[in-house]
Structure 1
Amino acid sequence: MESVNPATGETLETYEEPTGADVDAALEAATDAFGSWSETPIQHRRTLLADAADVLRDRVDEYADLMVREMGKPVAQARSEVEKCAWVCDYYAERAEEQLSDEVIGSDAAAHTLVSYEPIGPVLAIMPWNFPFWQVFRFAAPNLAAGNVGLLKHASNVPGCALAIEEVFRDAGFPEDTFQSLLVGSDTVEDVIADDRLRGVTLTGSEGAGRAVAGQAGGELKKTVLELGGSDPFVVLDDAPMEHTLEKAVQARTQNNGQSCIAAKRFIVHDDAYDEFVDGFVDRMDDLSVGDPADEDTDVGPQARQGLMEDLHDQVERSVDAGAEVATGGEPLDLEGPFYPPTVLIDVPRDAAAATEETFGPVAAVFRVEDEAEAIELANDTDFGLGASVWTENLERGERVAREFEAGCCFVNELVKSDPRLPFGGVKNSGYGRELSEHGIREFVNRKTVWVQHGEGSSDLGSVQE
C-alpha cells in the first residue's frame, strides 16, 4: 500500500498490508479490549477524549501537513479539519455522560421502567480519503465515549493518516487496542464483516460501496450506518442576499478541492436573480488560486488521484455534448498533477451528467427556474438526499422551503456542513442513520428496556405477549 502526493506524484511511503493472521489477531485484541473498556467509568472515557483533543491541537501543523501531502487538501483547510476533530472530542467529553444516561419512561404505576444505552462491541469504520481525519473522528469520538472499540479500514491512499489517528488515541492514554487501524484492501473487508466478533459497521463512501457493505452486513444481522454520496441543491430565490450568497456559493462548491459529499453541486437559481448570480459566480470562480496545496494562498489544490480528475472531466464533456455551456474552466490544467480548474456549466439539460450524477470536484451546474415551486421540484429531482440549502432574505420563506427538501441536512442562508452538536446524515441513496450529536452516539448501542416491578400491575393488557 503506497502513499503518493497527488500534487507531485512523489511516493511518500510504502506500507506492508497485514496478513489474514494479523487481521484475526486485531479482531481478537479488539474483543479483549472491549471487555475492559466497556466497563471503564464513563467519566474516565470522557477525560481521555479531552486528552485526545489536546493531542490534536498540539500537532495541528503536523497532521495538516500529512493531509496536504497524502490527498492534496489546501493547508489552511487541513488545519481547520484537525481543529474540528479536536472540537468533536471536546463535545463528547462534555456531553457523552448526559447523552448516555438512563432514560426513565413512565409506564405501569407499579413499575420503574427505563432505557439503558449500553455499548455493543467492536465496530468497523470504512472511511474515505477526502476528509481523512474528520470523517474518522466523527465516528470514533462518540463510539469510544459510548464504550465501543473501533477498527478503522481507511482509504488506501491515506494510510499515513490512518496510522496518525491511531497514534492520537494511543498518545492520549486510551488502552491498547481500543482503536486500531487496519491497512487492508477492500477484498479483506468482507471477511471482517462476516466475523462474529464484529458487531457493527459504518461506512462513508460511494453508493456502490454502501450497497455492498449494507447487503453483507444485513445478511449477518449487523447494524450499519451509511453516509453516501450527494448532489446537493443550492437554491437561490429571487430575494436572495446576493453578495453573501455568492461568497458562500463559491465556498460550498470548491472547499476541499470540490471533493465533498455535501458540497453544493446543483445551483438552482430563480429567473429574476439568474443573470446577477451567474455573472458574480463566474467572476469569483475565476479569481480562485489553483496550485500547490501547501501554499497558504492556494484556494484549490489537485484532485486526489489522476483517475478521479479524468472521471470528472468526462462528466463535463458528456454534459457539454448534451447541450451544457462552459462559462469558465472545463479543461484540465497544464500543471504537474491532476489539477482541474473551478468550472461553471450553464444551460445544463436536466438529463445531463452534471445534473444526474455526483460531480466530485470543482464543477458547478447552474439551472434557471421560473419560480419557487419549480426550484423545489428540481432540488428534489435526484436519487440523492444528503444536504440542501436555500438563500432568501425572508427567513420564514426559507424555513418553509427547507422543510420541502428531501434531504437529511437542510440550511437557510448557510452552506451545508456537519456540526458535532447536530445529527448528520442523509435519505434516499445518500444513506441512512445519523452521526454526531445525541443521535449519533446512540446508533451503535443496545437500547435496553429495563422493567422493575414494584407491586401488582394495574392492568392485564400488558401481560399479553407479542
Structure 2
Amino acid sequence: MTALRCISPIDGSVYATRETVDFDAARDRIRAARKAQADWAARPLQDRIDLVLAGVAAVGALNDQIVPELAHMMGRPVRYGGEFGGFEERASKMAELAQEGLAPIEVGDDAGFRRFIRRVPHGVVFVVAPWNYPYMTAINTVAPALIAGNAVILKHATQTLIVGERMADAFLSAGLPADLFQNMFLDHDTTADLIAANSFDFVNFTGSVAGGAAMEQAAAGTFTGVGTELGGKDPGYVMEDADLDAAVATLIDGAMFNSGQCCCGIERIYVHESLFDDFLAKAIELVRGYKLGNPLDPDTTIGPMANTRFAAEVRAQIDEAVADGAVAHIPAFPEDDGAAYLTPQILTNVSHDMRVMRDESFGPVVGIMPVRDDDQAVALMNDSQFGLTVSLWTRDIDRAIALGDRLDTGTVFMNRADYLDPSLCWTGCKNTGRGGGLSLIGYHNLTRPKSYHLKKAS
C-alpha cells in the first residue's frame, strides 16, 4: 500500500493522509459494486432519482464543513462559499432530464412486429475526478451514472483527498445501497492495472492530457469506453460592438477566479484594436484591486494555487514570455511568496510563439492581444491544440453563431464565460479529449443501446 498525502497550499503542511487499496482488495470491492448494481438497475427510475437527490442534499448539509476543507486542500477562498450551488444544480437538472434521456426509442409496433431500443446501464462506471472543482466535476458523472442504473467507483485527486470520501459517505447516509457508490484511494499503477484487467464498464476521466492518454492506453484492447475532458486554453474575443465593461468584468474573472484553476477558464483574450487600450486599462485596474492571501480570511479574493508545483509552471511561462518581450502589467503583490501564493498577471505584447499563449497555464495569468477583424481573431483562436470553450463578445447573435461555426471548440459562449450549463453537452475536441457529459447526451454516454426486434405470434 501507498500513503497518499494532501499538502495544503496555505502553509505547506500535510492536511490529510490516506492509505491506498491494493489490486486484490480493489477487485473485491468492484465485485461487490457489480452485485449491488444489478438490484439497483431493477429499481424504478423514480426511486433511483429520489435516492440520488437525497444524497446530494446530504452533501449540502455538510457545506459549512466542506468550505474550509476546500480552502485547506486547494486554496479557494471561503468567501465564495464552496460548490454546493453548482453541485445541486447539475444533479437536479440531470434528474429532471432522466425520463427523456433514458426513454426507449420506439421504432414500430404493428400487426407483425414490435421494435424498440432501450438504454441500459453499462454496469460499473469508474469516475476519476480532478481537484480544481472537486465536487462539481465529480457530480457531473456520479449523478447521471447512478440515476441511469450504474454502480460508481470514484477515485479523487490526491490534492482533494477527502472529497470522494465525503460524497460516498453522504450518499450512503441518505439511503443509497451499500457498495453501490464507493470512494476508492488508488495509486496510478493500481488504477492502470484495474482498467487493463477489464474491471470497469466505462471510465470517465477529467484531468491532464497525459493522464487521459494513460487512461486510454490502459484500456487498450479491453473495449472499455473512455470519456475524457483534458486540457484547455480557452480564448475570449471582444468585438468592436461589445459591452466593454461587461466583457472586462467577465473575462478577467474567468481568467483569475479560483486562482485561474478552472477547466474552462479564460487563458487568452483577443480584443478588437479599437477597444484594446480601454479594455487593457480597465482589466489592469480590476486585477490590481484583488487581495491575495490566506483563503480562510474572508477578505481574501484570490488564494494560493493548489500546489507550489502548479505555481512554478505559471511563473515559468510568465518569465519566459517577459524574456521574449512580453509586458507584465501587475507589480508583484506583497503576499507573493515565490511559492503557492502568486501575483495574478496580465501580459501584452505576447505572441503564439510564447508558451503562455500555447500551453495550458491553469493559473492566474492571461495574455491579451489586439486584432483587426473577425478573420484574424478566428485564426488565432483556432491556433491551439485544445478546444473546450470560446467566449465571444458582441451585440449581434447571428454574428456570434456564424463565428462559432468556424471555431474548433466544444462550447460557444456569447457575452458570458466560464460556466457549465447542465442542459448543454459538456464536451471538447482536439487535445481537450472526447466524450460528452451532462444534458441528454450525458445519459447516452453512460448507457448502451439494446435493440428489441419482437415478432408477434400469428
TM-score, normalised to structure 2, is 0.95
Does structure 1 residue 17 correspond to structure 2 residue 4? no
Distance in 2 separating the partners of 1:336 and 1:232 = 26
Give the deviation of 1:333 after TM superposition: 4.5
* Aligned partner of 2:341 among 314, 339, 342: 339
Per the alignment, residue 38 of structure 1 pairs with: 41
Does structure 1 residue 77 correspond to structure 2 residue 80? yes
Q: Output the amino acid matched with 2:422.
A: P
* Aligned partner of 2:434 among 393, 415, 432: 432
Distance in 2 separating the partners of 1:389 and 1:275 = 20
Does structure 1 residue 291 correspond to structure 2 residue 290? no
Distance in 1 separating the partners of 2:133 and 2:391 = 21
Distance in 1 separating the partners of 2:428 and 2:275 = 29
Question: C-alpha offsets along residues 336-372 of structure 1, whole Å, 9 cap, x if unaligned?
Answer: 9611111001010221011110111000011111111
Distance in 2 separating the partners of 1:441 and 1:14 = 35
With 194-203 and 118-127 compared, the bigger mean Cα shift is at 194-203
Per the alignment, residue 119 of structure 1 pairs with: 121
Distance change (3 Å), C-alpha of 1:109 and 1:427: farther
Q: Output the amino acid matched with 2:18.
A: Y
Q: Output the amino acid matched with 2:41.
A: S
Distance in 2 separating the partners of 1:413 and 1:110 = 54
Does structure 1 residue 218 correspond to structure 2 residue 239? no
Give the deviation of 1:78 after TM superposition: 4.5
Distance in 1 separating the partners of 2:216 and 2:289 = 42
Q: Tell me if the contact between 2:59 and 2:167 (Cα under 8 Å) persists in the aligned partners.
A: no
Distance change (3 Å), C-alpha of 1:324 and 1:336: closer
Distance change (3 Å), C-alpha of 1:327 and 1:334: closer
Percent identity between the two aligned chains:
29
Q: Output the amino acid matched with 1:311.
A: E
Give the deviation of 1:94 after TM superposition: 2.9
Distance in 2 separating the partners of 1:429 and 1:334 = 32
Does structure 1 residue 229 correspond to structure 2 residue 231? yes
Q: Tell me if the contact between 1:75 and 1:295 (Cα under 8 Å) persists in the aligned partners.
A: yes
With 279-288 and 57-66 compared, the bigger mean Cα shift is at 57-66
Question: C-alpha offsets along residues 230-281 of structure 1, whole Å, 9 cap, x if unaligned?
Answer: 0001001111100111110121101111011200101011111111111111
Distance in 1 separating the partners of 2:250 and 2:177 = 42
Q: Tell me if the contact between 2:79 and 2:301 (Cα under 8 Å) persists in the aligned partners.
A: no
* Aligned partner of 1:142 among 132, 141, 144: 144
Q: Tell me if the contact between 2:74 and 2:131 (Cα under 8 Å) persists in the aligned partners.
A: yes
Give the deviation of 1:294 after TM superposition: 1.8
Q: Tell me if the contact between 1:60 and 1:83 (Cα under 8 Å) persists in the aligned partners.
A: no
Q: Output the amino acid matched with 2:282.
A: G
Question: C-alpha offsets along residues 169-220 of structure 1, whole Å, 9 cap, x if unaligned?
Answer: 1111110111111111112111110233311111000111111211221321
Q: Tell me if the contact between 1:110 and 1:454 (Cα under 8 Å) persists in the aligned partners.
A: yes
* SS at structure 2 position matched to 1:173: coil
Per the alignment, residue 276 of structure 2 pairs with: 274
Question: C-alpha offsets along residues 89-146 of structure 1, whole Å, 9 cap, x if unaligned?
Answer: 2223333123211111359884332220000111111111111111111110000000
* Aligned partner of 2:55 among 52, 57, 63: 52
Per the alignment, residue 4 of structure 1 pairs with: 7
Distance in 2 separating the partners of 1:289 and 1:404 = 39
Distance in 2 separating the partners of 1:94 and 1:163 = 26
Q: Tell me if the contact between 1:410 and 1:416 (Cα under 8 Å) persists in the aligned partners.
A: no
Q: Output the amino acid matched with 1:320.
A: V
Distance in 1 separating the partners of 2:358 and 2:252 = 21
Per the alignment, residue 400 of structure 1 pairs with: 402
Distance change (3 Å), C-alpha of 1:108 and 1:348: farther
Question: C-alpha offsets along residues 383-412 of structure 1, whole Å, 9 cap, x if unaligned?
Answer: 100110100122222222222221001100
Distance change (3 Å), C-alpha of 1:33 and 1:280: same
Per the alignment, residue 462 of structure 1 pairs with: none
Does structure 1 residue 300 correspond to structure 2 residue 275? no
Runs of 4 or more consecutive aligned structure 1 residues displaced over 6 Å after TM superposition: none
Distance in 2 separating the partners of 1:158 and 1:416 = 21
Per the alignment, residue 452 of structure 1 pairs with: 454
Distance in 2 separating the partners of 1:336 and 1:266 = 23
Q: Output the amino acid matched with 1:282.
A: I
Per the alignment, residue 464 of structure 1 pairs with: none
Q: Tell me if the contact between 2:267 and 2:361 (Cα under 8 Å) persists in the aligned partners.
A: yes
Does structure 1 residue 62 correspond to structure 2 residue 65? yes
Give the deviation of 1:454 after TM superposition: 4.1
Q: Tell me if the contact between 1:31 and 1:197 (Cα under 8 Å) persists in the aligned partners.
A: no
Per the alignment, residue 133 of structure 2 pairs with: 131
| Structure 2, unaligned runs of 5 or more | none
* Aligned partner of 2:391 among 389, 392, 400: 389
Q: Tell me if the contact between 1:391 and 1:412 (Cα under 8 Å) persists in the aligned partners.
A: yes
* Aligned partner of 1:180 among 173, 179, 182: 182
Give the deviation of 1:374 after TM superposition: 0.5
Distance in 2 separating the partners of 1:406 and 1:137 = 27
Question: C-alpha offsets along residues 61-107 of structure 1, whole Å, 9 cap, x if unaligned?
Answer: 2112211111111224352x122112222223333123211111359
* SS at structure 2 position matched to 1:420: coil
* SS at structure 1 position matched to 2:275: helix
Per the alignment, residue 368 of structure 2 pairs with: 366
| Structure 1, unaligned runs of 5 or more | 457-466
Question: C-alpha offsets along residues 314-342 of structure 1, whole Å, 9 cap, x if unaligned?
Answer: 11111122221112257895449611111
Q: Output the amino acid matched with 2:196.
A: A
Q: Tell me if the contact between 2:23 and 2:194 (Cα under 8 Å) persists in the aligned partners.
A: no
Q: Tell me if the contact between 1:426 and 1:433 (Cα under 8 Å) persists in the aligned partners.
A: yes
TM-score, normalised to structure 1, is 0.93
